[in-house]
Amino acid sequence: MQVIQVEAPSKTYQVFVKSGIIKELATYIAQLEKKPTSLFIITDSIVEKLYLDSVKQSLNHLKIYEGIIPSGEASKSFEQYERLLTIALQSQLDRHSLIVALGGGVVGDIAGFVAATYMRGIRFIQVPTTLLAQDSSVGGKVAINHPLGKNMIGAFYQPEMVLYDPTCFTTLPSEELRSGFAEVYKHGLINDELFFDWLHKEITDLTNIEPIVIEEMLKRSIEIKASIVKADEKESGIRAYLNLGHTLGHAIEKELGYGKMTHGEAVTIGILFAMNVSEELLKCSLPIQELKLWLSKLGYSTELPKILNSKQLLNTMKSDKKAENGTINMVLMREIGKVCLMPVKESTLLKHLEKMLE
Ligand code: NAD
Ligand code: ZN
């Protein structure tokens, strides 16, 4: 088992990474300072079928309520948020109840937001089931989407603990593994060259990683996220480094239509783009070709889809990141493990977008 301490300024908690932990929730819940009066398990329609029974097995002595949302990003909506609150009220959850977020980033984000706002905030724990959720379940950003923007309605609200069972990855489709792994190697790129080199050496097939390597990979990735959250919980400074690859990544997701490409796969193309821009502006030399080769072997597309339009992408990037004086603030890379935030001219961005679309 790996245990990682997250020392966010507003709360300290632990992330436990252990195969089979999903069946041992009762043991961990019993460690909470105040025993919960009831549990509200929030999950999605796919995870419900795969894991809800296993989770409930150990909890049969507790009063349990369930809220199941349809699988997918569209569920981070006002409608589902209201529905979950209605179940919470009808079930008479009180201030000592505990919300259990069982699922990927979508469930973690909406369940966390329900927890942050129900009766002005009740406790919740994260039980992530996707690889991407090593990122989203740690750090306390919880949110739902507004029709005008993703994650626009939310809060910073930390969980009591995170219980991470890597055996859940065995049922994840390969594109979801790629989506999550992008956030893992991104942590290496922004913060830790040794970790990145280790991943490069160890990970040759995302569907076939030794359990011990998975645990080590999750541990280091979560440690990096935790260290950034400790330094800057509310993203007034270095937490923005986590956005490496996201300026273009978000624009690709939006322009293709959400769900056409997973988040991490779009971010991967965004990272390669950010590296191209970095080489020009920071006059550095980055191992872009080597990275592309490795990512292609892992099944990622490393090219911008040719149906996309450079000007349209730039416009979307501008609206996402609040452009100022003809520049967009972007995370750039000096070398592996060292990044910085810099304003980049729209003309430079357009030039590189056009090059990638040639
Ligand atoms: P997700 O929760 O939609 O999960 C992806 C798909 O996998 C879904 O269809 C889900 O039903 C299914 N699934 C989940 N676990 C499974 C399992 N073990 N086996 C088989 N299928 C499984 O998406 P995600 O990629 O986990 O998370 C994306 C969301 O996370 C986005 O909404 C994003 O905004 C959010 N996010 C939040 C943060 C944060 O800091 N809060 C960070 C990154 C991303
Ligand atoms: Zn991301």
Answer whether 157's CB lies under 8 Å from 140's CB: yes
pLDDT given for residue 323 in this prediction:
66
The answer to whether 225 is a known catalytic residue is: yes
Asked which of 171, 206, 232 is the last residue of a domain, the reply is: 171
What one-character-per-residue DSSP string does 232-297 give? -TTSSSGGGGGGTTHHHHHHHHHHH-TTSS-HHHHHHHHHHHHHHHHHHHS-----HHHHHHHHHH
Answer whether 97's CB lies under 8 Å from 35's CB: no
pLDDT given for residue 322 in this prediction:
64
Q: How many domains does the chain have?
A: 2
| Ligand 1 nearest-atom number relative to CA 142 | 41
Q: Within this chain, do residues 286 and 149 fall inside the same structural domain, yes or no?
A: no
The pLDDT tens digits of the residues spanning 290-307 come to 999 999 999 999 999 999
Distance 180 CA to ligand 2 centre (A): 9
Give φ, ψ of 48 to 5 degrees.
Answer: -55, -50
Domain harbouring 55, CATH code: 3.40.50.1970
The pLDDT tens digits of the residues spanning 56-109 come to 988 988 899 999 999 999 999 999 999 999 999 999 999 999 999 999 999 999
Provide mean pLDDT across the span 283-288.
Answer: 96
Answer whether 224's CB lies under 8 Å from 192's CB: yes
Distance 98 CA to ligand 2 centre (A): 27
List of residues 6+ apart from 262 with CB closer than 8 A: 175, 176, 178, 179
pLDDT given for residue 23 in this prediction:
95
**More confident position, 134 or 245:** 245
The pLDDT tens digits of the residues spanning 215-229 come to 999 999 999 999 999
pLDDT at 233 over 90: no
Q: Within this chain, do residues 246 and 146 fall inside the same structural domain, yes or no?
A: no
Q: Within this chain, do residues 146 and 274 fall inside the same structural domain, yes or no?
A: no
Domain harbouring 265, CATH code: 1.20.1090.10
b/e for 275-313, b at 16 or more Cβ within 10 A? Answer: bbbbbeebeeebeeeebbebbeebebebebeeebebeeb
Domain containing 109 equals 2-171
The pLDDT tens digits of the residues spanning 142-175 come to 999 998 888 999 999 999 999 999 999 999 999 9
Query: How many Å apart are CA 330 and CA 314, to the nearest integer?
Result: 13
Say what the ipTM of the complex is: 0.99
Provide mean pLDDT across the span 44-53.
Answer: 98
Query: How many Å apart are CA 274 and CA 332, to the nearest integer?
Result: 6
Q: Within this chain, do residues 267 and 347 fall inside the same structural domain, yes or no?
A: yes
Q: Within this chain, do residues 199 and 258 fall inside the same structural domain, yes or no?
A: yes
Protein residue closest via CA to atom 29 of ligand 1: 105
